[in-house]
Structure 1
Amino acid sequence: MIDVTAVFDIGKTNKKFFLFDKNYKEVYKEYIQFDEIKDEDGYPTENLQALQAWLKSVFEKILENAAYNVKAINFSTYGASFVHLDENGDVLTPLYNYTKPIDESVIDSFIEKYGPKEDFLSTTGCFDLSLLNSGLQLYWIKHTKPEVFKKIKYSLHLPQYLSYVFTGIPLSEYTSIGCHTALWDYSKKDYHKWVYKEALNHILPTIVSTETSINMNYNGKRIKIGVGIHDSSSALLPYVRSINKNFVLISTGTWSIALNPFTVHPISIETKDKDFINYMRINGKPVKASRLFLGNEYKIQVSKLVKHFGVSKDSHKHIKFNYKTYSEIIQDFKYMYKWESITDTDMPSKTQIPYDKFEHAYHQLMTELVLLQIKSIKDVIGNDTIKRLYVDGGFSDNDLYIKLLSHYFRDKKLRTTDSSLGSALGAAISISDKKLNSKFLRKNYSLKKHVPFIIK
């Protein structure tokens, strides 16, 4: 029987369950997807009832499995999502989707009371006001559904609700409060004054450290149950715990998010860029981040190139960096791509591809995308002293992306890591007493060093 830590890692699409041994090696995993249901306005949302039933059934099945001795369980989930409970602990509303649009009049009335907008966004580390800010969801419910709001005993962020399913204890923790919720005033290190003025503090449970766990007797077994963690903060945790020098993590995928956990300047009043955002470390310290719709734009543009050149849709996966091709592009460099999901002042009014080879057009595309990425990373570094960059996610395997990034940041040490476990592993680590050492990333994340190519 192996001693294990169980983790539910809940994404918008994939719901995952992992077991990790004492060395954080994955020994079991299970995935599932649920069809979305609709809220009262017909907008798609999470099937919370199905999710809860799955959590219980999977966990009880594992407890009965003679191969594993579950010592602890924790939860990592996407953010910007509240579950509202009544005095009986029953769920009051659908789990409103953070992409759900709300009436502009709600946002206008909020700004009228608590603006000006720029000052508010800079103190809360948010880049806009919408349901992507879970705090605004509470304001929206209070002022458009007062009869529902009156029944709310507790509002729990999704990671803490999953913990509540197993413990029955309502709690709040820093990483969920700090992820673009508009609830937290980073300058005061407390809920923003608007939270108190609207009396929302009465329905937000006691704040505890993300490392808190509750020792419980569950189905006859003594188990340590974590309070849950926001997935982006969770993915960052193994790096923070095992690296003793300042660094920036570039987490790539549909969104490329550059995270600076060591900033002494969280979002300032001067920052009005909607692509800046704050997260929070498990100790309550701010993480400055900038986001770029890199993977989404890459997918759009590669699809167009495949059609234009009549090549197979997987051709881009096999292209390696070619110094001669890059030299030709950079010699008389011009921007050639008009982005569809990114706004940039350098882009032309329409895409123009003068090349007759797919490989050349692809090198041009990656050069332009990496230049956008460089700006995003430089913005998040600001005036902080950062000598190390870590890249994980989809682009860590893209030869051009890594070679170009290494080239343009020749003054920094660039490393790539490979872990599909990401936030799940962070959730396991957050409730463990075990210290991580500098070899952790090499052993568990296939850490690779990269050196810049030689300029000829």
Structure 2
Amino acid sequence: MQNVIAIFDIGKTNKKLFLFDEQYNIVWERSCICEQTTDEDGEPCEDLTRLTGFIHASLAGIPAAFMLKAINFSAYGASFVYIGNDGKPVAPLYNYLKPFPDELKTKFYDAHGGEVTFSMLTASPVLGSLNSGMQLYRIKELQPQLFAKIQTALHLPQYLSYLLTGTPCSDITSIGCHTNLWNFSQQHYHEWVYREGIIDKLAPILPSTSVLPVKAASPPGLARPSIPISGIGLHDSSAAMIPYFESFREPFLLISTGTWCISMNPFNHSPLTVAELQKDCLCYLSYQGKPVKASRLFAGYEHEQQVLRIAAEFHVQPATAAKVTYDADTIRQLRAHPADKPTTFEEAYHRLMLDIMAKQVASTQLVLHDTDVKRIFVDGGFGKNQIYMHLLAEAFPDIEVFAASIPQATAIGAALAIHQHWNDGSRPGDIIELKYYK
């Protein structure tokens, strides 16, 4: 039998299970798209029954040729599962996009030092329900009967671990991601968590590298070789950085690109300033419990919308953008004559990328300054975009710029977090594929 670790990677849309061998190769996988349900207000939210069914059925379906040595979970953040005295959910998994009442927001921040001071202490911009601690506060204030029924509130990654271990716990990567719960300067929960009685609903914090004994790997009647241990789960953004921590020792910055382009600098240890907060910076905690300063840019979305616009203008398909290669002469011409209107789709697309890069450089500089970063890694969609990568390398001539590719980085990160508990081999040194841009 082949030794493997099972990793569930639970996104908002796609739910996946991967088996990795001891060299971190994917040897088996399964995925599904779970339809959402609605909460009591008709707002869309995760269907916990379907999600739990996927977890159990996927484990039961693993071929017997694999020897499961361990299991771990990565999942999206800003989401609580509320457990009652019987160990089962007593409320929906409320969507982090659920509107947060303005009057309640004002009441909260007025009571706890004001938005600016509070946001600086918790490294959390004011984001409503995306500050997951505010979800608990809303229940306490508006649904006191439900609040009384909640024995433990578990962030989603820890709830998935709880399904198999029966042990409720909290993890620093979930607590430390714009939750309004954590005081970054003092490295413990903010005082409001105690003052409002929220602390009584939170499980003990365990190290992100912890493992627990598995009590039930599948529902009764579904035969499956036992899994001895489970990790406690990780917030997906933190899990995706673990391969970089394992592979590189010199200071680096990672730009994770998708709908949002997030510049993450684990080597910027200066506290967030008011100006940085106002420019959409925040901090979260790595699996080692250390602050990672990050800035956000809505560049992927902007790229998508502008490509549609210029494709319509030049009567081409939007997919044409993927075929446009970097042309230094076009860049020079556009810079020399910025007021001239592009005459071809290729020119217009280069202009778009110049505009996006100007914003990207400003965003990245927010978390880059005053640090000794030697390398910038770009993963996700823009890492495959020649024009983006060449312009980024040009913008930071004193820093090595690489497009980075890690198949299923989040899942691999969750496996690496508990490597010592399941894998007798050494951690792989070639897990990240890099392409250098001069």
- Bin the TM-score by the shorter chain: over 0.9
Is 2:403 the counterpart of 1:416? yes
Partner of 2:392: 405
| Contact 2:10-2:76 within 8 A present in 1 as well | yes
CA RMSD of aligned residues (A): 1.5
Q: C-alpha distance in 2, partners of 1:382/1:191?
A: 28
| Contact 1:81-1:98 within 8 A present in 2 as well | yes
Partner of 1:27: 27
SS of 1:137's partner is helix
Identity %: 40
Q: C-alpha distance in 1, partners of 2:273/2:411?
A: 31
Partner of 2:156: 158
Partner of 1:172: 170
Partner of 1:348: none
Q: C-alpha distance in 2, partners of 1:159/1:129?
A: 21
SS of 1:447's partner is strand
Alignment of 1:154-303 (within 5 A): 154-216=152-214, 218=216, 221-303=226-308
Alignment of 1:20-169 (within 5 A): 20-62=20-62, 65-169=63-167
Tell me the alpha carbon deviations over residues 386-414 of structure 1, each in whole angstroms, 9 at most, x when there is no partner. Answer: 12100100111000000110111111011
| Contact 1:123-1:268 within 8 A present in 2 as well | no
Q: C-alpha distance in 2, partners of 1:266/1:162?
A: 33
| Contact 2:71-2:227 within 8 A present in 1 as well | no
How many residue pairs align between the two structures?
Answer: 428
Q: C-alpha distance in 2, partners of 1:333/1:413?
A: 28
Q: C-alpha distance in 2, partners of 1:129/1:311?
A: 38
Tell me the alpha carbon deviations over residues 409-443 of structure 1, each in whole angstroms, 9 at most, x when there is no partner. Answer: 11101111112402111001111116876x73xx3
Q: C-alpha distance in 1, partners of 2:216/2:153?
A: 24
SS of 1:271's partner is helix
Q: C-alpha distance in 2, partners of 1:274/1:155?
A: 31
Q: C-alpha distance in 2, partners of 1:222/1:53?
A: 18
- The Cα shift of 1:272 comes to 3.2
Tell me the alpha carbon deviations over residues 293-342 of structure 1, each in whole angstroms, 9 at most, x when there is no partner. Answer: 111000000000110000122110111111111110111335xxxxxxxx
Q: Taking structure 1 as reference, are residues 274 and 162 closer, same or farther at Cα in structure 2, changes over 3 Å only? A: farther
Partner of 1:329: 334
SS of 2:209's partner is coil
Alignment of 1:383-398 (within 5 A): 383-398=370-385
- The Cα shift of 1:450 comes to 1.7
SS of 2:125's partner is coil
Query: What residue ranges of structure 2 are gaps of 5+ in the alignment?
Result: 218-224
Partner of 1:319: 324
Q: Taking structure 1 as reference, are residues 218 and 129 closer, same or farther at Cα in structure 2, changes over 3 Å only? A: closer
| Contact 1:249-1:258 within 8 A present in 2 as well | yes
Partner of 1:430: 417
TM-score, L = length of structure 2: 0.95
TM-score, L = length of structure 1: 0.91
Tell me the alpha carbon deviations over residues 148-187 of structure 1, each in whole angstroms, 9 at most, x when there is no partner. Answer: 0011100000000000001110000100000110000000
- The Cα shift of 1:96 comes to 0.4
Query: What residue ranges of structure 1 are gaps of 5+ in the alignment?
Result: 335-352, 452-456
Counterpart pick for 2:311 among 301, 306, 315:
306
